[in-house]
Amino acid sequence: MKMICFDMDGTIADLYGVPDWLEKLHNEDASPYQEAKPMWDMERLNTVLHKLIRRGYEIRVISWLAKDSSEDYKQAVRQAKLDWLKRYHFPYTVAHLVAYGTTKANCVRKMANAAVLIDDSEAVRNGWHLGEVINPVECDIIERLEALARGE
């Protein structure tokens, strides 16, 4: 199974661009996750993702919940993230919305023998050993995914 795994915050959702996002998270306010603007032209991104799906790729989301949060807040953040993905018609099969700090490879290790990770965190990318890693801060992920769809 070929797979592409997407981080959300700082990769496709501009959480860090929401005013006072950190303070709001500390106050267990989930609104920044709802209000985060998409970081890419979602129509173009979705088009290339559908192309990859037709080429046999599975698209998943692996995203951490907020640091040190209550069970209620974890649930609110989980819902906000699912709402965000739905609002932008992001074509994924499974969203692994996991505790802050979880080793992302552990979420899909059993299902994927080759998996690409797109994630803005260098530490997370360094902990990924299932395949290529893409830094969305340094490249145009749509261009990179187009190349992948062409088999490059």
- Binding footprint of Mg ion on the chain (CB under 5 A): 7, 9-10, 120
Is the separation of the CB atoms in 73 and 106 below 8 Å? no
Query: For Mg ion, which is the closer residue by CB, 1 or 137?
Result: 137
Query: For Mg ion, which is the closer residue by CB, 10 or 91?
Result: 10
Nearest to 18 by CA among 34, 40, 5, 41: 34
Which CA distances in Å does 50 have to 65, 78, 117? 27, 24, 17
Query: For Mg ion, which is the closer residue by CB, 104 or 149?
Result: 104
Shortest reach from residue 126's CB to Mg ion, in Å:
14
Nearest to 63 by CA among 20, 129, 124: 124
Query: For Mg ion, which is the closer residue by CB, 9 or 58?
Result: 9
Shortest reach from residue 63's CB to Mg ion, in Å:
7
HSE-up (13 A, CA, CB side) for residue 10: 13
Shortest reach from residue 11's CB to Mg ion, in Å:
5
Shortest reach from residue 9's CB to Mg ion, in Å:
4
Tokens of 19: 């005013």
In the complex, which residue's CB is closest to Mg ion? 10
